[in-house]
Amino acid sequence: MKITLVTAGKIKEKYLTAGIAEFTKRLTPFAKVNIIEINEEKMPENPSAADKEKTLRNEGERLLRQVPKGSYLFVLDVYGQAYSSEELAARINALGVGGDSHLTFLIGGAFGLSAEVRQAANERISFSRLTFTHQMVRLLLVEQIYRAFKINRGEKYHW
């Protein structure tokens, strides 16, 4: 299976970089993982509603250009479907069995997602109604993908 993460923004904190690298390494027996980062779009000072919409649309267009053709697109969205770890594992397994061998997970920038990104998604998923930095979400995402593969193999991950 192939897993692509398309993200806005760079990871600056060493502890997040180390965690992402660790779970990406742990995923190598299960999937080929590719992380694509784009620079975040700059938001003007005291933006109007039109400025916010334009910024999100520009960033969204650049994110969507990075989504591999033919991949199944999950967009991480606070308004998306909430899954338990077991439910996400079952969903990933069902997609793989059904022929979707390339999954893409898209994480927007600090300002959120454009309507176009939400509409392009095959599925929108939410990790929580809580707000996390998009850098933290990347670590949580790779950990949950790793956990999903362990669950699907019937291996213990967390007692």
Please tell me which residue, 12 or 5, carries the higher pLDDT value: 5
Task: Decide: 57 and 114 in contact? Cβ < 8 Å.
Answer: yes
Q: What pLDDT score does 38 carry?
A: 96
Q: 85-115: per-residue pLDDT in tens?
A: 999 999 999 999 999 999 999 999 988 999 9
Please tell me which residue, 93 or 155, carries the higher pLDDT value: 93
The CA distance from 31 to 3, in Å, is 6
**Token pair 């199944």: residue:** 72
Judge whether residue 159 has pLDDT over 90: no
Q: What pLDDT score does 105 carry?
A: 98
Q: What pLDDT score does 123 carry?
A: 98
Q: What pLDDT score does 139 carry?
A: 97
Q: 37-61: per-residue pLDDT in tens?
A: 999 999 888 989 899 999 999 999 9
Enumerate the domain spans of the chain: 2-152
Architecture of domain 2-152: 3-Layer(aba) Sandwich (3.40)
